Amino acid sequence: MTSSDMDFLTIALPKGKLFSPAAEMLAEVGYTAEGLSENSRKLVIANDTLKIRFIITKTADLPTYVEYGAADIGIIGKDVLLEEDKDVFELLDLKFGLCRMVLAVPERLAGENVQDYAHMRVATKYPKIAERFFHDEGIQTEIVKLNGSIELAPIVGLAEMIVDLVETGRTLKENKLVEVARIHQATARLIANRVSFKMKFDRINKLKEDMRTLVEKRGLK
Ligand code: PRP
């Protein structure tokens, strides 16, 4: 860590659905920077007065930036933490971005029993989560890793089923897919690099406590 790294707190934010609520929550506790926007071409945005630096990463890469200390802290979904399985501290459940990881199939294949789907092919952006789920269910499947638009796979015959995130349920419905099993729920989490958490304890802990107070205040409304 250089001395300038020691002065600054580097906060990683993911592109995508969590960006705006994460940036808003940080702003509410006083962490902002001019020009911080998901669509910014600039990927590092600093506030020299507050000595903070935001970096904007691809969602799946965020835990890697924090694990290696390229960012001190970050905000990311529990789904990504479970999939990426990186060595980071999970400091706080921020309680926004609630969604669920599900196994879904086309309406014509809908059944009661997960065992019915043994030996079928499953498309997912979350191969580790899918593998653990099917392993725990004691069935074998073939997992096809995709990077997005997962719901397309069963429509065009790439796979019979999908493991994916559901938020409102609209995408499943519009593609005539039905949820047959819930794997887990996920919300946004505040995470920290293990070394940064010790070296910058006062700053990170204050931010964590401010965010905890905000989460509790929001919960009471
Ligand atoms: C996520 C997820 C579903 C959709 C679910 O995709 O993979 O496709 O959102 O949301 P809903 O239940 O509210 O319809 P995302 O928009 O992140 O893009 P992707 O499919 O390219 O990963």
Question: For the stretch 161-185, what's the b/e string if a residue is b when 16 or more beta carbons lie within 10 angstroms of its beta carbon?
Answer: bbbbbbeeeebbeebebbebbebee
The CATH fold assigned to 99-185 is D-Maltodextrin-Binding Protein; domain 2 (3.40.190)
Residue with CA closest to ligand 1 atom 21:
148
- Ordered by start, the domain boundaries in the chain are 3-97+187-218, 99-185
* 167 ligand 1 Cβ < 6 A: yes
Q: What is the pLDDT along the chain (221 residues), one digit of tens a residue?
A: 555 678 999 999 999 999 999 999 999 999 999 999 998 889 899 999 999 999 999 999 999 999 999 999 999 999 999 999 999 999 999 999 999 999 999 999 998 889 999 999 999 999 999 999 999 999 999 999 999 999 999 999 999 999 999 999 999 999 999 999 999 999 999 999 999 999 999 999 999 999 999 999 999 77
Give the distance (Å) from ligand 1 centre to CA of residue 87: 26
The Cα–Cα gap between 96 and 9 comes to 23
Identify the CATH assignment for 3-97+187-218 out of 3.50.50.60, 3.40.50.10680, 3.40.228.10, 3.40.190.10.
3.40.190.10
* Atom nearest to 149 CA in ligand 1: 20
* pTM, entire model: 0.93
* 164 ligand 1 Cβ < 6 A: yes
Which pLDDT does position 4 carry in this prediction? 60
* 169 ligand 1 Cβ < 6 A: yes
Which pLDDT does position 6 carry in this prediction? 83
Give the distance (Å) from ligand 1 centre to CA of residue 94: 20
* 16 ligand 1 Cβ < 6 A: yes
* Atom nearest to 99 CA in ligand 1: 12
The Cα–Cα gap between 105 and 82 comes to 22
* 174 ligand 1 Cβ < 6 A: no
Residue with CA closest to ligand 1 atom 2:
165
> Could you give the count of Cα atoms lying within 13 Å of 8 in the half-sphere of its Cβ?
21
Which pLDDT does position 176 carry in this prediction? 96
* 148 ligand 1 Cβ < 6 A: yes
